Structure 1
Amino acid sequence: MAGLTLLALATSQPARAQGRGRFQQGGARISQLDNAKIAFITSRLTLTQDQAQRFWPMYNEFVARRRELGRSARLLRRDADNPALSDAQLRDNFNQDFAIKQQQLNLEKDYFDKAQKVLTLRQVAQLYQAERDFTKEVLKRVAGQAEPPIGTGQ
């Protein structure tokens, strides 16, 4: 199921709608991708019902915060190419970028500590590997090199 969702997402044509419609379709695609990621991670981790109830809200909060920090970093990098920026403004951008990177590291450490309170250390390691594997699968599918469906473990 997750494989089909991801395959449909990866092979769909870019949205032709303008304005709000395009934004809403992009949001739907992110939602589809998030759902496929949840299914993929679920298939990799063997969570008890108690673990799942405690893990998913924590993980979703982490992903949202990580996404927010990533968006801030991308905006800074985009602005760095502006030839109208003074050296002082560029220096400020670099300092802000370093601060965001530190926030990302702090978030990772905090999440790691929280995850260990819900999951075993082995499950935490499996989670990190599942996230990397999911990203690799998405990139393969987008590039048209997909083999077996996501979640089959092959």
Structure 2
Amino acid sequence: MNRIVITLLLFIFVSSSSFAQERNGEGREKMRSRIEAQKISYITQKLDLSPKEAQQFWPLYNELEKKKHDIRVRSKILFKKLYRGKDSIPEEELLKISDNLIDLRLENVQLEKSYHIEYKKILPAKKILDLYHTEKQFQGMLLRQIKEKGRRQHGK
């Protein structure tokens, strides 16, 4: 239990300093890398993988995360295109953009499904479900930190 508390406190401290560094000019890519490292640390601690499981799991997980990141980048490009010229883009082009956005969502779901199948080959069901729960917990922690940071900035 103490290990969890210490890990969480360390995580919060590192995250806070990371957000401060972002404000001081550190690039988004470095921030993303730091968050990914924190996420890996958090997942590692929560899943308690055996050495054999870890050796098989992490390459798969990292591969999936890279593919999901690529989908997010492609989606972001479409949204930027949409909001830069939403009022001047012809209806046919808007339909293409909306179709492409749905296709990217479907691609993401298919990725999740295919990697879920791969995870089942190397991890027990409990650890797979723990992974999904842990990822949600991590997202929640990040959102709370962002909200808190916003409150502190607006409260000043």
Q: Percent identity?
A: 20
Aligned equivalents of 1:78 and 1:27: distance in 2? 18
- Give the structure-1-normalised TM-score: 0.82
Partner of 1:151: none
Aligned equivalents of 2:137 and 2:20: distance in 1? 19
SS of the equivalent of 1:144 reads helix
- Give the structure-2-normalised TM-score: 0.81
Aligned equivalents of 1:77 and 1:71: distance in 2? 10
Partner of 2:57: 55
How many residue pairs get aligned? The number is 138
Aligned equivalents of 2:19 and 2:125: distance in 1? 32
Q: 1:123 aligns with which of 127, 131, 136?
A: 127
Deviations 1:99-146 (A, max 9, x none): 11111111010111111111111101100111110011111122227x
Partner of 1:9: 18
Partner of 2:97: 93
Aligned equivalents of 1:52 and 1:80: distance in 2? 41
For structure 1, which runs of at least 5 residues remain unmatched after alignment? Answer: 17-21, 146-154
Q: How much has 1:2 moved relative to structure 2?
A: 3.5
Higher normalized helix content (fraction of residues) = 2
Higher relative contact order (Cα pairs below 8 Å, separated by 6+ residues): 1
For structure 2, which runs of at least 5 residues remain unmatched after alignment? Answer: 1-9, 150-156
Partner of 2:6: none
Aligned CA-pair RMSD: 1.7
Aligned equivalents of 1:4 and 1:129: distance in 2? 23
Alignment of 1:76-115 (within 5 A): 76-81=78-83, 82=85, 83-115=87-119
